[in-house]
Structure 1
Amino acid sequence: MKNLKPTEYLYAYTMGLEERSLCHLEQRALFKQESDNLLISDRKIDPSRSPFIKGRLTILFSGDSVDDIAHQVHQIKLEEQTFKVFYIKINDLPIERKIEFDDQRMIEKKVGWNITGKAKMRNPDVLFGIVPFKGRWYFGIFTESESMWLKHIKKPHEYSTALSTRLARAVVNIAVPDPVDINVIDPCCGIGTVLVEALSMGIPIIGADRNPLAVKGARENIAYFDMEGEVAVKDIAEQEGHFDVAIIDMPYNLFSPATAEEQYTIIKNARRIADRVVILTIEDMDDMIRKAGFKIIDRCAADKGLKALFSRQVVVCESMSGY
């Protein structure tokens, strides 16, 4: 495939109704836009980073019709590589314009016949996708998401109020949309759910917790997935150094003995050690957050599910000058 220089990427999303707010916050952090199904960006990220992205289309061609695409794909010369073209079912077509199964196969054949190469339905060397979006058709190389977070659900140490791996992965993306030259800390890490997700994405992060049993569990969970990460027994008030980002899942009065004063102490120390903090809380802490010297720049509700006993808020904070 010579002389093809893709500069844009189309991301296909799926989300449950209860996850919409969280997914949109992650999208705003990663792409500065939001969508319920597809979005186009010039930013390239691994689709496996997000628990909501099903795949990434590296756009090679676009046109007003399938015929436009079929005409352009003559440029593709695969030589010895095998390929497959498939219709991406995630799109923004209204129900009355939905393309049925037989027509989807016709679209795939019409485009595939014009590509120089050997078609292969199973395990092709190159997987091409074609999809309608906002009145145009897009064609390119499709990279499927591996849903890595699913592999982290079962681990040696768990407890009922810990973040789900899906939520933890989205929170890491919200906190660290671009990990280049960023140092991150989870100073109240518990059993390390956030640490595992961050490390699995190659994001350098250290963890700490004042509970020795939690730290032991976090270390064993990290090791279980053949990862390496630093986790210390340390109260946030004792934490030294400065970090670009801190992720804090606040202790909950409903499940753990944390007074309002202790919660404020956590936030105040977070302000001391980090310029940007993502706070997860089941309580309204806006006044406390502002009092500590943060401004709230974005937020969402992150329900555990439709039958959740409580709903977490994900609050994105940045330091205010003068504090």
Structure 2
Amino acid sequence: MEMRAFFGFDTQLNYLFSPIEIDPSRSPFIEERLEILFEADSLAELKLLVQEMKIPSKTYKVDCLNKMDLGETKKIRHPERRAIERELGLIIDGEPELNHPDIILGVITVNDCWYFGKQTKSVSVWREHLHKPHSYSTALNTRTARAIANIAVPFPEGKKAIDPCCGIGTVVIEALSMGIQIEGRDINPLVCNGARENIAYFGLEGTITKGPISEVINCYDVAIIDLPYNVYTHITKEEQFDIIRQARRIADQCVIVTIDTIDEAIEEVGFEIIDRCTTTKQLFVRQILLCK
């Protein structure tokens, strides 16, 4: 679902080609990105293109990315990958540095084509957010929360988001760490304080206000709502419905996380479910619904 939000399609393969540039550190599922500079039908042809490269002011290393099967393209064994890296690395006009290079250049072969370009590896920022001062056992895990923030706001520029049932701020933290303009809100003052402390703990800046969604007067591009449920929060079906109705009032789009099937309520307030998936944590099976 996150893949569809970013790229407009999904695939069962473990790679994809797209002109859309996404920082791999944004996604908990992307390992690395190769910004393609050269494309060739053979390694020999690729070498002719690469030897024209000049990197006068930065150190570099070359990394062969065929460390696993890529669709029908089989993994390249370690000695062969090192040989490819050396062949390409030695013909570039620049200063190679294997340990701490300024630039990592990647080479990969897929379906008998060779590609070379700038490699960006993912940093698992969401893992750092696992350990926060305040947490709930039933809260979304940080990996899921990060994906939900990406589904809601795949392209943050100019977008405003709100999490009006933010709890201890799990989604808000992930969104803020990716540069998404988001506000958090909750009716519980103690929870609001916990969310503020969690945000500050990671050196982030964000706004958490106290009060129900019915008191929100501003409008947003998207609302992200992990619906409260009767485990630690006592809420009726009518109150859940009102939260959805209020979300429709303040936002053009909404990502709703629910343990119940609420399709009829979503349609009744005027939203349309345009994408969905499920995620599991312990005994909880949550539905993630993208609504417009």
TM-score bin (small chain): over 0.9
> Given residue 290 of structure 2, which amino acid in structure 1 is its aligned partner?
V
- Counterpart of 2:9? 33
Matches within 5 A, 1:225-304: 225-304=202-281
CA shift at 1:253, angstroms?
2.6
Matched, 1:165 2:108: no
Shift of 1:267: 0.5
Cα deviation, 1:129-163, whole Å, max 9, x if unaligned, reads: 11122432211011111111111111110010111
Deviation at 1:70, TM superposition (A): 1.4
SS at match of 2:17: strand
Q: 2:286 aligns with which of 298, 308, 312?
A: 312
Q: Would you say 1:73 and 2:73 are equivalent positions? A: no
Q: Cα offset for 1:173? A: 0.6
Cα pair 1:61 1:139 within 8 Å, conserved:
yes
Counterparts of residues 21-100 of structure 1 (less than 5 Å): 25-35=1-11, 36-88=13-65, 89-90=67-68, 92-94=70-72, 97-100=74-77
Structure 2 counterpart of 1:146, which letter? V
SS in 1 for 2:168: coil
Scaled by the length of structure 1, the TM-score of the pair is 0.86
Query: Shift of residue 66 of structure 1?
Result: 1.9
Query: More deviation in 182-191 or 60-69?
Result: 60-69
Match of 1:14 in 2: none
Alpha-carbon displacement from aligned partner over 1:88-116 (angstroms, at most 9, x marks no partner): 12551448x33111111122122222211
Q: Aligned letter for 2:40? A: G
Aligned runs of 1:91-130 on 2, under 5 Å?
Answer: 92-94=70-72, 97-130=74-107
Q: Contact 2:172 / 2:183 at 8 angstroms: preserved in 1?
A: yes
Question: How much is the aligned-residue C-alpha RMSD, in angstroms?
Answer: 1.5
Provide the rounded CA distance (Å) in 2 between the counterparts of 1:309 and 1:73: 52
* Contact 1:93-1:132 at 8 Å conserved across structures: no
Match of 1:15 in 2: none
Q: Is there any run of 5+ residues in structure 2 with no aligned partner, and where?
A: none
AA aligned opposite 2:151: I
| 2:160 maps to 1:183 | yes
- One-letter amino acid of the structure 2 residue matched with residue 281 of structure 1: T
Letter in structure 1 aligned against 2:226: D
Contact kept, 8 Å, 1:76 with 1:116, in 2: the verdict is yes
* Partner-residue secondary structure (3-state), 1:177: coil
Provide TM-score, normalisation by structure 2: 0.95
Using the TM superposition, give the Cα deviation of residue 256 of structure 1 relative to its aligned residue in structure 2, in angstroms: 2.7
Aligned counterparts of 2:113 and 2:87: Cα–Cα separation in 1: 17
CA distance in 2, matches of 1:238, 1:81: 54
Could you say what secondary structure the match of 1:39 adopts?
coil
* 2:160/2:222 contact within 8 Å kept: yes
Identify the range of structure 1 (129-138 vs 244-253) with the bigger mean alpha-carbon deviation.
Answer: 129-138
Matched letter for residue 236 of structure 2 = T
Distance in 1, Cα, partners of 2:137 & 2:112: 45
Task: Indicate the SS of the match to 1:75.
Answer: coil
Partners in 1 of 2:42 and 2:284 — Cα distance? 47
Determine the C-alpha separation between the residues in 1 that align with 2:254 and 2:57. 50
How far is 1:230 from its partner?
A: 0.9
Percent identical among aligned pairs is 50
Q: In the TM superposition, what is the alpha-carbon distance from 1:255 to its structure 2 partner?
A: 4.3
Give the superposition deviation at 1:271: 0.5
Q: Which runs of 5+ in 1 are unaligned?
A: 1-24, 319-323
> How far apart, CA to CA, are the structure 2 residues paired with 1:93 and 1:184?
37
